[in-house]
């Protein structure tokens, strides 16, 4: 059973991975504090292993990576479970979680940084979040760093029309996998699969990326999934 130690989630909810963990904590009704990083040094201090968000202070431990964190939360507070007791179903839930984190995520990133108008808005957001003394450097380095990562991954090499077309195809596949719901695999409660997909849909449905907004809104089944999770984790 959970002890009395404070739980702290380090990260910004603009990150789909932080949002995924945030909703997991809310789903399990665990009291916690959200600490947003104020400097780039905060990222490394909060997560010295990878220097990325999220990080979680849980029962005296410092955890990293949204997948590892959710699995640790399941051990810490088993109810409600985030993975099925059925081994095959749990494997399928993990696969969707991993696909959302490692594939769908990059469509949101590519839409942000490879389309000029979106990249301008994304850069402004990055600059405004940086300490004033670092803003001139961030303005130059952030787009270069992001584009380098996205192109190396491959999604960032796609022309915009193909990028949007492929994103819609993936979202349509998610609708088929969701079926009649209310959550993936016909379950009446969310799993790691639902939390991971929610985080990425939240990332895509952003005014910074109107193409992502429009794509998500074409599939009411997915927006309804998000609304159901909102109600359960609000």
| 8-76 CATH pick, 1.20.120.160, 3.90.550.10, 3.40.30.10, 3.90.1150.10 | 3.40.30.10
Q: Give the pLDDT confidence score for residue 137 in this predicted structure.
A: 86
Q: Read out DSSP for 144-212?
A: HHHHHHHHHHSGGGS-HHHHHHHHHHHHHHHHHHHTT-SSGGG-SS--HHHHHHHHHHHHHS-TT-HHH
Rounded to whole angstroms, how far apart are CA atoms 219 and 151? 28
Residue ranges per domain, the chain? 8-76, 87-233
Tally the C-alpha atoms within 13 A of residue 155's C-alpha that lie toward its C-beta: 22
Q: What is the pLDDT of residue 97?
A: 98
Instruction: Enter the pTM of the model.
Output: 0.93
SS3 8: strand
Sheet holding 33-35, edge to edge: 33-35, 8-10, 55-58, 61-64
Query: Can you list the residues of the chain whose pLDDT is less than 70?
Result: 1-4, 40
The pLDDT value given to residue 5: 74
pLDDT in tens, 50-84: 778 899 999 889 999 999 999 999 999 999 999 99
β-bridge pairing 33-35 and 8-10: parallel
Could you tell me which CATH number the domain at 87-233 has? 1.20.1050.10
pLDDT at 1: 46
């Amino acid at each position: 059973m959970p002890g009395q130690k404070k739980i702290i989630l380090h990260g910004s909810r603009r990150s789909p991975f932080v949002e995924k963990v945030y909703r997991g904590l809310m789903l399990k009704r665990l009291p916690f504090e959200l600490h947003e990083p104020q400097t780039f040094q905060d990222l490394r201090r909060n997560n010295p292993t990878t220097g990325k968000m999220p990080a979680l202070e849980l029962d005296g431990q410092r955890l990293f990576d949204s997948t590892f964190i959710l699995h640790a939360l399941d051990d810490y507070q088993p109810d409600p479970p985030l993975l099925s007791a059925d081994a095959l179903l749990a494997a399928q839930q993990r696969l969707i979680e991993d696909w959302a984190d490692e594939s769908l995520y990059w469509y949101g990133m590519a839409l942000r940084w490879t389309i000029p108008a979106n990249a301008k808005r994304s850069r402004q957001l990055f600059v405004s979040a940086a300490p004033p003394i670092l803003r001139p450097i961030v303005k130059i380095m952030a787009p270069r760093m992001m584009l380098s990562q996205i192109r190396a991954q491959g999604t960032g090499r796609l022309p915009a029309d193909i990028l949007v077309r492929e994103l819609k195809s993936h979202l349509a596949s998610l609708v088929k996998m969701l079926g009649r719901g209310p959550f993936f695999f016909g379950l009446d409660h969310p799993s790691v699969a639902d939390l991971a997909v929610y985080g990425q849909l939240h990332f895509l449905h952003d005014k910074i990326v109107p193409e992502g907004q429009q794509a998500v809104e074409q599939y009411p089944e997915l927006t309804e999934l998000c609304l159901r999770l909102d109600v359960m984790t609000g």
